[in-house]
Amino acid sequence: MSMMKETDPTRLRIAVSHVLEAFLDQRVDGPKAVADLVHFCRPDLCHLNGPGMENRLADTLALAATGEIDPDFALTHLVRLATTHVLCVERSNVFG
């Protein structure tokens, strides 16, 4: 899968919605859906998009599958997770 999210947010939303729909229709299982969604997630400088990101994606899918959140909210949340910019600064000379 390509890194299309920066150049075309509509295509990203459509692609994520296809994964969510396949999961909710039980055409793919949770681990496969998470693996597909991880491809859309932006790598970061803190390694927060590793196992932690997979857990956040899985939690969102689980909440959608149980009806605790509706599919539209799940889609919006999954797209936000995919496009989140994360930067951790432990030390910087900028702050003195």
Domain ranges of the chain: 9-95
Residue 69: phi, psi to the nearest 5?
-130, 150
pLDDT in tens, the chain (96 residues): 344 444 578 899 999 999 999 999 999 999 999 999 988 877 655 555 555 788 889 999 999 999 999 999 999 999 988 887 655 555 555 555
- The full DSSP string for 18-74 is HHHHHHHTTSS-HHHHHHHHHTTSPP-SSSTTTHHHHHHHHHHHHHHHTTSS-HHHH
**Helix, strand, or coil (residue 3):** coil
